[in-house]
Homo-oligomer: A and B are copies of this chain.
Amino acid sequence: MVSIRSFQNLMHRLYFHRDSERGTEGTYQWLREEVDELGEALTEANMEALAGEFADVAAWLASLANLLKLDLEDALLQKYGNECPKCHSLPCNCPFTTRKS
């Protein structure tokens, strides 16, 4: 079992020296590129490649959080502790929409 915090700590040990050098804006842009790659992988039916792209998006999200000294596990618990943050139900009972905007 891997906790969200221990994964974020591993990313810190692995990459914080590089992330610091690149900075917040560069690290965010890299995250965006990983999300683009995830989108491309969705169009192919290769689960192994897809798993790698999911891992990359999570890794860059953790790197960005590390640069901001933000604890991802706390952020997740705060917003999605045990219910939908909007309707306060589990499962979510919000009116269904297909798109955010």
Interface residues of chain A, those whose CB is within 8 Å of chain B, are: 1-5, 7, 10-11, 13-18, 21-22, 24-26, 28-35, 38-39, 42, 47, 50-52, 54-59, 61, 64-65, 68, 70, 72-80, 82-84, 90-92, 94, 96, 98-101
Contacts and interface: CB of A to CB of B under 8 A. Distances in A.
Contacts of A98: 21-22, 26
Copies of the polypeptide in the assembly: 2
Closest 8 CB pairs of A and B: A55-B79, A51-B75, A55-B75, A1-B3, A33-B100, A54-B75, A55-B76, A14-B92
A84 B63 CA distance: 13
A70 to B, nearest CB: 6
A10 B59 contact: no
